[in-house]
Amino acid sequence: MRSRFSPRHLARFTAAALIGAVLSAPPSSLAAPDSERRPNIVVIVADDLGYGDLGIHGGDDVPTPNIDSLARDGVRCTDGYVSCPVCSPTRAGLLTGRYQQRFGHEFNPGPGRRQGDGDGFGLPLDQVTLANLLKQAGYRTGLVGKWHLGYAPDFRPQRRGFDEFFGFLGGAHKYFPGSDGERGPIYRGAEVVDEQEYLTDAFGREAVAFVERHAHEPFFLFLTFNAVHNPLEATDKYLDRFPSISEAKRKPYAAMLSALDDNVGRVLDTLHDKQLDEHTLVFFISDNGGPTQGNGSRNTPLRGDKGTVWEGGIRVPYLVRWKGHLPPGKVYAEPVISLDILPTAAAVAGATIPPGNNLDGVDLLPYLTGQKSGSPHERLYWRFGPQHAVRQANFKLVKTRDGEPQLFDLAKDVSEQNNLAASRQDVLQQLTAAFATWNGELAQPRWEPQGGRRAGQPGARRAGRKNAAEN
């Protein structure tokens, strides 16, 4: 007898069943078999951080000693990427370990989609999150900071695997009470709170409190600062550190980055004070490259910025620290991606990936420790509307909104200036064919992008920039 369900409905049913299995499974069935305490997981995400602004990447006007310490005490992945050049899709990919285009989460929400709209925008409910997996493995899970994965109640953090939530739901938020740039309230759980502290400091405070509350049990902290995203707002405490910077955007940006670094340091100090350094795996990334015209960030030496598939839009600071387990000060040059965070965290936590929940990320630990050689990925892919890119070894194919595909050798030309398409037609054709195959596996976008038009159509770039504060 013919099924009453379409293939699409069957796919949704299967995914829903997988989530049900995860959520109903007893923690002991997913936990690591050994009696030792499983490591804590801390994932720190900066927002719109320029690749060249950290000291470890050559930044010389804004000291970032705390963030830099993660590289000194752990591994710096020089060729670390995110799966999208804008905020919300990157977060969807990070939390699922899958290319977000597979489930239609290709763009930030379009205009008019704000908290309470109930319009369906959000990380699809049939996707298993890292928080789901770790919670069922016996971890206490907490999100502090920016969400940007759905406003309606079913899409909010505490329905997606997080036990605790302090932060905001949208894509941007003011830093001062009563200042311009409001994008919805601050929540503690489901309750609106009247937060009076500078927001970066408030997020640092709450992250420290979460670690202190759960220092004696395995925990997962997803710390998603909105710094250094617009609006450009900083306290005198941080502004006064940069008397020699006079650029209108660069000065407040520097102050905001300094605040971010201070609060990363507060969390790292708390882990140390609680003797958790060797019991905590820490990741640090940015959600995309810096929007250099928008906030004064710098992506040096990379070409492009947020919203593009040039290196400046998708290559980000990517640091991994696990004291006593990862070699300190190691520089790792193979391409890795934010999709790798979920399988890496799940592996060290002893969490089981549900059958059929096919991941695009891989467990990085064997590669970072040297147990495995070679590259974790044969290829990495990006699709953002009509833009796309493929990286294979050192070669990168780039197709922008307009023009012909271009080819670069990133080992020799990280700034993507020397187009090799004419001289290396063999590689160009190979990567073009690889993208076509991958692209055929993807879903249609579930909503229109920021600005209300498909990226690349006339006027879309202007509309996107006009609404950048919501991005």
- The catalytic site residues sit at 87, 148
Question: Letter for the amino acid at 140?
Answer: R
Q: How far apart are CA 288 and CA 81, in angstroms?
A: 8
Question: Letter for the amino acid at 368?
Answer: L
Q: How far apart are CA 345 and CA 354, in angstroms?
A: 15
HEC readout, the chain:
CCCCCCHHHHHHHHHHHHHHHHHHCCHHHHCCCCCCCCCEEEEEEECCCCHHHCHHHCCCCCCCHHHHHHHHHCEEECCEECCCCCHHHHHHHHHHCCCHHHHCCCCCCCCCCCCCCCCCCECCCCCCCHHHHHHHCCCEEEEEEECCCECCHHHCHHHCCCCEEEEECCCCCCCCCCCCCCCCCEEECCEEECCCCCHHHHHHHHHHHHHHHCCCCCEEEEEECCCCCCCCCCCHHHHCCCCCCCCCCHHHHHHHHHHHHHHHHHHHHHHHHCCCHHHEEEEEEECCCCCHHHHCCCCCCCCCCCCCCCHHHHECCEEEECCCCCCCCEEECCCEEHHHHHHHHHHHHCCCCCCCCCCCCCCCHHHHHCCCCCCCCCCEEEEECCEEEEEECCEEEEECCCCCCEEEECCCCCCCCCCCCCCCHHHHHHHHHHHHHHHCCCCCCCCCCCCCCCCCCCCHHHHHHHCHHHC
Q: Cis peptide leading into 267, omega within 30 of 0?
A: no
Residue given tokens 């710098």 in the structure block: 298
Are 97 and 130 in contact by the 8 Å Cβ rule? The answer is yes
What is the edge-to-edge ordering of all strands in the sheet holding 395-399?
A: 380-384, 387-392, 395-399, 406-409
Count Cα neighbours of 346 within 13 Å in the Cβ-side half-sphere: 25
